[in-house]
Each structure stands twice: as structure tokens, then as C-alpha cells.
Amino acid sequence: EINSKRLHQRFYQMAEIGKTEKKGVSRLALTKEDRVGRELFIKWLKKLKLNIRVDDFGNIFARKEGSNPSLPPVVFGSHLDSVPNGGKFDGTLGVLAAVEVVETICENNIQHDFPLEIVMFTNEEGARYTQPMLGSGAITGVLQKEYVYQLKDDNGIAFIDALKEIGYLGNQENRVSKVKAFIELHIEQGPVLFDKGATIGIVKGIQGISWQKVTFAGQADHAGPTPMAQRKDAFVSAIKAMDKIHRWVSKLKDETSVTFGKCSVSPNVVNVVPGQVTFTVDLRHPNKKILNQRVDKVKEIILTIASHTETEEQIEEISFMEPVLFSERLVKEIENICDENGYSYHAMFSGAGHDAMYMNRLGETVMIFVPSVDGKSHCEEEESLWKDIYQGTDLLFQLVCKEIGA
Amino acid sequence: EINSKRLHQRFYQMAEIGKTEKKGVSRLALTKEDRVGRELFIKWLKKLKLNIRVDDFGNIFARKEGSNPSLPPVVFGSHLDSVPNGGKFDGTLGVLAAVEVVETICENNIQHDFPLEIVMFTNEEGARYTQPMLGSGAITGVLQKEYVYQLKDDNGIAFIDALKEIGYLGNQENRVSKVKAFIELHIEQGPVLFDKGATIGIVKGIQGISWQKVTFAGQADHAGPTPMAQRKDAFVSAIKAMDKIHRWVSKLKDETSVTFGKCSVSPNVVNVVPGQVTFTVDLRHPNKKILNQRVDKVKEIILTIASHTETEEQIEEISFMEPVLFSERLVKEIENICDENGYSYHAMFSGAGHDAMYMNRLGETVMIFVPSVDGKSHCEEEESLWKDIYQGTDLLFQLVCKEIGA
Ligand SMILES: NC(=O)NCCC(=O)O
Ligand SMILES: NC(=O)NCCC(=O)O
């Protein structure tokens, strides 16, 4: 039996770190807040006498051996970083539930064959370093080490420098390279479970995600005496492109989603016609082929606008994350546990990317969702109900026990 | 006879201060660069043994008495601040030409009745503190002192603190309150003179300018699992509003111009649906009544978009600068001097606001423009030809001499 009270207490202890005015969390990757969060996490791991390691991307692993150390480990966990003014459940829940599961196993002296490992991944959000699931992407061979180390945040600070700064640059041999199973408990971050009134989301896979960075370059000029017809206004090009893309996606009425989350206007002065504008396009679809078609159409719209407005466009792919399908066996295992325990569930796809998306490459993978109140996430209003969280954590506990051969 | 070589030399000395890579200038108001520019300016003034004063907004005046100190002064000058990555001519030319005019008067021991004053105004651009012609607006009673002192830059630094920081907080009694004439030499910043091949622009007045700050507030949410139809995307509202406003103004095919120069998206993360977006609207028209109609229409569009997209709008007027008409007598004087000297000229309105717009309240005012190559301004490519600048400065010299009763 997991200790709900302990989980609850730890959760609110962690929620203090980077707490915002409206009780959300700003704990961006590799900041001081991230470091303090890691320290608290490690304090708990040490009490459990786990074997702690940090890899060359700051991912933290905590291992407990089973009877056969040569077997691949069962790995579970999530991330502790947040978006700015984000919620306290996103990522954190999966990490703290993992700690609770292992503490329950230790306390009850549960014997097992397979090693188990708790994991906390670095920069999952892609908020500070614009590459989501960076830590898991790096150790699974999706992202190159040189590329990751040189990534810059908005203030020009390289990933490697920020990692060293908080003291979490570990060794390459500390990565995990093969898993018996990877299991991630997470909040849904969307409205499906909450609307259905289900407690558990059994995640069958994750939709594909494309991130692109678009730049329009025109000509900075004076907003007063420069006739509208003679301008090369980079912001007008960007506005026209975003409006057109948004209209087109809205008309599709399918599962495609598009978001322009980030934008910077230069020189960003009231009376200067913008000379350069950069914005991001987050495009999603569950089907890889269709997602690719959507990406192509976005590019086409941008090229057309650029030629009509006589501005120069540049499109840079930040990331293309193919849709993934999780282990059917693990999905079935979860269904069984839910049925046995009378947990209401719904099998679904994830709209958000998660470290499980990349960990899937190292072995059988699955995710467990608990509902997000009103579907809200990546905001301070993010909320999940504790009755759901306890069931989700218990489900994680039971699945882990099965997988480690307890 | 003005000394062209001296003017040219001083100009390039000043252009070093805040010089950018592409030989433009970033000398934002009340920054270290502004302070260094002011120091160089004051060094020149001191050599001319002028009576220097600084007022309570950091405006600098340098006075030379005439035979009758009780007469109102003839004031001329401009500003030394720039937009980020702006040009080296904007404002600076008018200040350095004024120094050159006075040096020529001193050198030749020209006797005059009226006092003369060179002036350098603070924060003309409205780039750092989003209130253009701040220094002249403050001393002419358009802007309240308390309001101006508490204005914040994008980093939250109050005007009064920045003014103290660079050491240019002077006394209220040092303001100018009445002028016999105010004359400002400036680059045109638009294409009219260059396209016409005229050397001198005789500025009959300035069009009206409205600056507004628009905020859309929606709901931050996750870009992945949040269905498009359930979002309150503040950036989508802003994009739709700006696109609609731009399309409408483009269709007017009259003198109305609109610019969205500044925009900030919050939280500005790739995978977060923007919860809040702020942008500025710079609207201009030579006719006050029509400008007011344009402003109303912009507000109407914003309100409509807000109600359609279920986001909350807020519209804040930063500034409404009524169109002004300059002194017909001074316009005529300039025409006469041009005719006498064979300077080609064109009478025109200014598309940009200038300190002359507010100084007009203190006495007869006029402006002299010299052409901007290709009409470019507020960018590093800003350029004016020296043959034009010499003629413009000579014209300023002759007009000042007439006005001071030399
Ligand atoms: N869960 C989460 O926010 N992941 C980041 C990647 C994404 O944007 O889906
Ligand atoms: N000349 C100039 O750039 N003035 C600032 C006010 C305006 O935007 O017109």
C-alpha cells in the first residue's frame, strides 16, 4: 500500500520551490530553482539508500538492485522542470510518485528480480532550452551531444554552461541504455479524462509534434513618414502568415493543432516598422504522414506571404517528434490492474510529448494519465484531484511490482 | 559662413557614441551612451562660453545673450537619443548644426538683440520611455511631471531614477517657457525630398499621431492536448486584430498609416498557448478629426475580435499628438532665404513627430528638413548627403541670424 499522506506532503514541499504568486510554479531547467528541486529529490533518494547517478545531461537515476543485477532495469519517473508560471503537477507528480512507489517497496521489503530505477529528466519542457524532452532525447540518440551542449537560452547561455553552473554535469556511463520497461505517470494536461469522469488514462501512444522557428526579415523604417506601400514590414508578414495558417487549421476540423507560442519583434519600438520578426509554430497530428503534409502546407503559406510582402523568410526545424505507439502488453497489464481494482479508465493518445516518447526506443514503454481539472495545464491554474492521484500512484506501484518480478 | 569641415568632424565624433556594427547608433535615452553623448555636447558648449543649464527633465539649454536680455530667446536644436539600432543623423544633426551655427556667430563676433539658446531634448524617440518628445512635452505642459517621472522602461526602471543615474536631473527654473522662435533642423526620415531631388524641406506642420497599447488576456494552456476550439489564445486574438486593422488601413488608400512596432507575448514558450499579449498601435493622419475616427475604428475592431475570441481586451492611450501648423511667417522667411541662395526646396508636412510639435506652444515655430537617402530612417542604413546637410545648416544659420536681429 502506498502512503498517500507522505506523497501529498512531499508534493507540497516540492511545490514551494519556484512557487509563483498564484500558486503555480516557475522552475525552469537548470536554474537555481531547478537545482534546489534536485537537491530535495536527492535528499529523499538518499534516505532510501538508492544508488544515485547523474549522466552527462544532468538526468538523475536512482537504482535499487533486484536479485539479478544483470537484468535490464524497470525505469519510471518524469521531470521536475516547468514552463514559466506553469503548474505544480506537470512532471513533478511522476517523479514524486516514483519515489513513493520505491519507498513502499523498501518499507515492505518487497523482493524482486529486476533492478528498478527512478529517473528525473532534464529540460523536458523545452521552455528554457527550446528542445523538448531534451534529457531523454539526448540519451536515446535522437539529439546529438554537441548540438545539445551548445543550445542557447533566450539570454545566450549555453546548455552546457547552465548544467555546470548548477553542478549537475555527470558522466556518460551513467546513462541508461536499455530498459525492461519504462513507465511514466503524468497528468493528462487536456480535458478528455476530466470530461469523461474517468480516473485513469491508459496511454496507447503520443501524437506527432513539429516545432518550427520562422523568421521574416524586412526593413526597419520610421513608422511616421514611411508610406505604407513602401514598407517591408516583417511583423505584417508574420501576422499575415500566422493568421492564414490559423484560419486554415481551424477549417480542417480534424485533429491538427497549431500554436504560435513564442514571438520576438525587432527592434520592438512603437515608432519603428519592425525589421525582423521570429515566431514559433507548434504543429501536431497523430499521423506522421498527415503531420508532414501539414508542415509542408505551413511552409508553403510562409513562402507565399514572403513573396507577396517582399520580405525574406527563413524556416528552421527545431524538432520533429514522430508519433509513437506504446507497448500493447503494458497497456493490457494496466487494463487488467484497473479492472482488478475497479479503477475507471479510458484508453487514449497523448496530445503532449513526454520523455516516454523517446524512452520508447530503449524498451517497452507505457504511460499512465490522471485527469487535469478542466483540462488546464502549462498555467498556474493547473490542478489534479488527490483521489485520482492516489489511484494513479497505486496503479504505478502495482505495475512496477509486476514488471520487476516482485 | 558655417565651417562645414568642423560640423562634419563633430558629427562623426558623436556617431562613435553608441555606434553599432553596421555603423548605425544605439543611444537610448538616459543610458550610459546618452550620458557620454551629453558630455561631448557640453564640452563643445563650454568652449563657446555659453551659459549652460539643465532642467528637471534633463533637457539641456546653452544660452548666449544678445544686447537685450529681457527679450524672449530664439531657440534651436533637437535631440541626441536614438532608437535601438537607429541612424546617426536623426536628432543629432539638429543639435550639432545648432552648435555650428552658434560657433559661427561667436567666431564672427556677430552682434544680436535677442538671446539665443541651443537645446537638446531628453527622450525624443519614445523608444526607451514610451512617450515620444518627452522632454519637450513635459516643459510645455502636455505631460505631467509626476506621470513622466514614474514612467517605466521595459526593465521597470523609472524615468526619474534613470535621469538621476546619469546625473542629469536639473531644476525646474531652468526650463524655457517662452520663445521668440523655435527652429529645428532635422532629416526628413521619409522619401519625399529624396524622390523629388529637393535639398530643403520647409515644414509647414506635423500630422497627428496616436499611440495605443492594446492587451488581450486569454488563458495560458498546453499547446498539445488543449483542443483548438477550447482555447482562449491571446496571441490569436492579437493576430486577428492586427491583421484586420492592417487590411482596413491598406484599403483606405489615403494618408492614414498604421504600425504595430512593439509586441510581447506571455509566457512566450513554444508549447504554451499565450495567455496574454500586448502590442502597440501607431496611427497617423494629418487631420485631427479623421485621426480620431481612425482611432475609434481601431478600438471597434479590437472589441469585436475580443468578443468573437472570448478574450479580454484593454486599450490604453499612450499618447495623442494633435496635428500642428507651424508659423506661416517663418515658413515664408525660409522660402525667401532659399530663393536668395538658390536652394531647391519643397514645402511639406512632417510624417514624424518632433520636439517642434510641442515647442510650437511656446512661440512661433518652424522646421527645416534635409533629404533622407531612399527615405530610410530609424534603421542603421539611415543616410543623408553632406551637400544637403551643409545647405540645411547654412539655411538654419541665416534664419537664426534674422530672428535674433543680427
Ligand atoms: N508534457 C509536456 O509539456 N511536454 C513538453 C512537450 C510538448 O510540448 O508536448
Ligand atoms: N523623429 C522622430 O522619430 N520622432 C519620434 C516621434 C515619432 O514617432 O514620430
Residue B381 predicted with pLDDT over 90 = yes
Specify the pLDDT at position B253: 87
Do B74 and B400 contact (CB within 8 A), yes or no? yes
Mean pLDDT of A237-263: 97
**How far is B65 from B50, CA to CA, in rounded Å?**
9
Could you report the per-residue pLDDT of A99-124, keeping only the tens digit for each?
999 999 999 999 999 999 999 999 99
Could you report the per-residue pLDDT of A41-91, keeping only the tens digit for each?
999 999 999 999 999 999 999 999 999 999 999 999 999 999 999 999 999
**How far is A141 from A358, CA to CA, in rounded Å?**
9
Rg (CA), chain B: 22
CB contact under 8 A, A270 and B378: no
Residue B215 DSSP one-character state: E
Per the listing, cell 514612467 goes with B151
Could you report the per-residue pLDDT of A341-387, keeping only the tens digit for each?
999 999 999 999 999 999 999 999 999 999 999 999 999 999 999 99
A83: CA distance to ligand 1 center in Å?
A: 10
B125: CA distance to ligand 2 center in Å?
A: 5
Mean pLDDT of B218-238: 96
**How far is A24 from A11, CA to CA, in rounded Å?**
13
Mean per-residue pLDDT of chain A: 97
Residue B110 predicted with pLDDT over 90 = yes
Specify the pLDDT at position A253: 87
CB contact under 8 A, B225 and A280: no
Could you report the per-residue pLDDT of A21-48, keeping only the tens digit for each?
999 999 999 999 999 999 999 999 999 9
- Minimum CA distance residue for ligand 2 atom 3: B125
B351: CA distance to ligand 2 center in Å?
A: 8
Nearest by CB to A83, which of B267, B282, B380? B267
Grouping H, G, I as helix, E, B as strand and the rest as coil, residue B202 is strand
Q: What percent of chain A is predicted at pLDDT more than 70?
A: 100
The strand ranges marked E within A274-379 are 276-285, 312-321, 324-325, 345-350, 364-370
Residue A173 predicted with pLDDT over 90 = yes
* Residue A155, min C-alpha distance to chain B (Å): 14
**Best mutation target, A27, A155, A222, to test chain B (most B CBs within 10 A):** A222
Q: What is the DSSP string of B232-295?
A: B-HHHHHHHHHHHHHHHHHHH-SS-EEE---EEEES--TTEE-SEEEEEEEEEESSHHHHHHHH
Mean pLDDT of B254-281: 97
Residue B338 predicted with pLDDT over 90 = yes
Specify the pLDDT at position A40: 98
Mean pLDDT of B276-296: 98
Do B351 and A226 contact (CB within 8 A), yes or no? yes
